[in-house]
Structure 1
Amino acid sequence: MIVRSLTLRGKRTRATLLAAGREAFEEHGYDAVRIDDVCARAGVSHGTFYTYFDSKEALFGEVAQAVVGEMFAASAVGPAASGDPYARIEAANRLYLRAWAANSRLVRMVEHAADADPRFGRLLLELREAFVRRGADGLRRLQEQGLADPSLDPRLTAVMLGGMVEHFAHVWLDLGERAGEQDAVDHLTRLWARAIGLTPTSTSSQEGP
């Protein structure tokens, strides 16, 4: 990745290239997109592209980071939501499914690229780490409050339960498993809560993940 101090105009040009790249990848897939396609969409020359990115792979990596960052922000429950842990898990699952629906094509593209290039595999692990940390921190807080099974390893539990939600999102939204959103969210939440030893009747008004 090319890193240098940019002028305001340079920042705008770089942002335009990122937006053009994202559109091209979403429409045509990673393999089919050429740098010239991105330049045409952005309205810049081929040489200008290399002022900001040293390859198509570098552009795609930044697009992927932006997408997962948006998904992370979109699926955050936030302090304004209910303090009931069960309700917060339910809200997080609903927000994640909606965030996946908006971005699944690009996320799957990163996974496909990872099969051929280990750099994207490492990127995928780095991008998922933010979700794992959030889930582990939430479980750790519940354990400290006596609301979740204290014998569970927070990180491993977050990896496994997060994987359950991610895989279901793929099967449901990408492969067409038939289920309404409310049923999907309800089942995911009950499975998650039972796995960590949390039930609706044990949640009162404590602060959750």
Structure 2
Amino acid sequence: MKSPWKLLILALLALSLLVPRSVSAGDYVIDAIEALKASNVYVAPGTEGTDYDTANKLEKTLITDDNIVLVMLPSDALVGTDLYTIARRISEGLGNQKTIGLAVGREVIGYSLILPEGVASDKMMRANSVSHNSVAALITFTQNIHSYVMYNPQPTLVPTPEPTPTPRPTMTPIELPKAKDISWPVWLVMVVAVLAVVVWVFVTIKKN
């Protein structure tokens, strides 16, 4: 017969395997950031009100280059933190280059540093007021952002062109004519001129 202590230890070990591992808010944020580097939608496993097709539904509302990401996390992601902090951390993890639509349980928030201050938050509040669940709120939020950008196009950052250096004038070297390039009439004139100078010098010396 086995010792009662051994049976108790085995029972405790088996029970520990059945207890789900607690996940901190930081873990949810890290998982979301990593997933959003490859996709614009992240639905954490076990999030309330979601199923196998939720991510696909959210993905269909996005358009190319709209810079929107949609995130759904379970309500226990709020333990020890708040909705705004989670949204801000996700934005920072993505270089603050995305508009965040975040649902944690039934709580939702819009966050963006690429839109004017307060726009994302306002669009999410409006979406939530006419939606019956978080999925519907995120879909309506996306539509609201698309409408806002359509009527309020955001300026595109154009890199400042580098000044073109002013070219400095270059001195073209003067090339003296080569002997082979001088024609014979020119040579004849030069010879006559030299002879004339020699004769003049000779006559001048003789007179003196």
Task: Establish whether TM, by shorter chain, passes 0.5.
Answer: no
Query: Which range, TM-score by smaller chain?
Result: 0.3 to 0.5
User: Which structure's residues are more often strand, by fraction?
Assistant: 2
User: Which structure's residues are more often helix, by fraction?
Assistant: 1
Alignment TM-score, normalising by the size of structure 2: 0.32
Structure with more relative contact order (C-alpha pairs < 8 Å, separation 6 or more): 1
Alignment TM-score, normalising by the size of structure 1: 0.32
